[in-house]
Structure 1
Amino acid sequence: MALPRPASTWTGGMDMPSRLFERGGDDYQLYERDDEFVLTVELPGFDPEELTVSWDDGTLNVAGEHEDEFRGTRRTYHRRFRFPKTIQDGEIEAEYENGVLTVRLPIAFEAAATGTEIEIES
């Protein structure tokens, strides 16, 4: 039986399940480190051109399609990851090396600090 993983820093003080980003299998890990989220996805056998990573309004989409003509097989992969904090859209980076896709999503701290001040009436 696997032991539950500890809550990440952003859920640590909240009454939320520590497995909000629980693995859907053994193919990915998602964690928060310093000022970014880091997602690693194991996709052995895919070429970088067969993978697509896109960002849309707080959701990261990872998709891939690989056809092995020699074996006559086709593999597809698709997962969506929703993020609870504002991400710096233009700073997201993805790298694919040795069958592992790594996506770094920097957190936009200034987004949490700014906003509209609401006047308090007395």
Structure 2
Amino acid sequence: MQKRWNPFEMSNGAVALGPLMAKEFDQLFRDLSARQGSSRELVPPADIYETAEGITLQVDLPGHDPKAIEVKVEHDTLTLKSERKVERSDKDGARRLERSFGVYTRSFVLPRTVDASRVEARYENGVLTLTLPRREEARPRVVEVKVNS
């Protein structure tokens, strides 16, 4: 069984930093990343479904303003961009921020079978759903088998 890597563990198994010190370092890095705010880019998770009609893409963007979500199709690339801003003032006295804030961006290379001029986007309950229909000539068709008698 493989052992999980611990950056604070030395090759002989001894821990270089005590558990309390490791916890402090962990909190320090969390605080630094929270302070960066909108200056860092984040990649939202996505699910991709393919059917005979086309491709459906679902991207998690909870807490984003639907009016600020940008969907751009350029050549064979679909790019999503949105920003989730920190919703607090310095007077709030927040002690811990675990939610991610910043610019979310994700790009997908579209297959040639997708009709980029008919892409549709819908935002509901924090999920952006993109419908990417197939080109008519790329859709599967049934061919009738003729029998010679």
**2:47 counterpart residue number:** 29
Q: Percent identity?
A: 36
- Once the two structures are TM-superposed, the CA of residue 89 in structure 1 deviates from its matched residue by 2.4
Higher gyration radius (CA): 2
- Once the two structures are TM-superposed, the CA of residue 86 in structure 1 deviates from its matched residue by 3.0
Report which stretch shifted further, 25-34 or 88-97: 25-34
Are positions 1:56 and 2:70 aligned together? no
CA RMSD of aligned residues (A): 2.4
Runs of 5+ unmatched residues, structure 1: 1-24, 113-122
**Structure with the greater relative contact order (CA < 8 A, sep ≥ 6): 1 or 2?**
2
- The runs of 4+ residues in structure 1 deviating greater than 6 Å are none
The one-letter amino acid paired with 2:54 is E
Cα deviations across residues 98-121 of structure 1 (Å, max 9, x unaligned)? 000000010113269xxxxxxxxx
Higher helix share: 2
**1:65 counterpart residue number:** 83
Write the mapping of 1:1-122 to structure 2, written as runs, cut at 5 A: 27-70=45-88, 74-110=101-137
- Once the two structures are TM-superposed, the CA of residue 27 in structure 1 deviates from its matched residue by 1.5
- Once the two structures are TM-superposed, the CA of residue 35 in structure 1 deviates from its matched residue by 1.3
Runs of 5+ unmatched residues, structure 2: 1-42, 91-99, 140-149
What is the rounded CA distance, in whole Å, between the counterparts of 2:133 and 2:60 in structure 1? 21
Number of matched pairs: 88
TM-score computed with the length of structure 2 as normaliser: 0.52
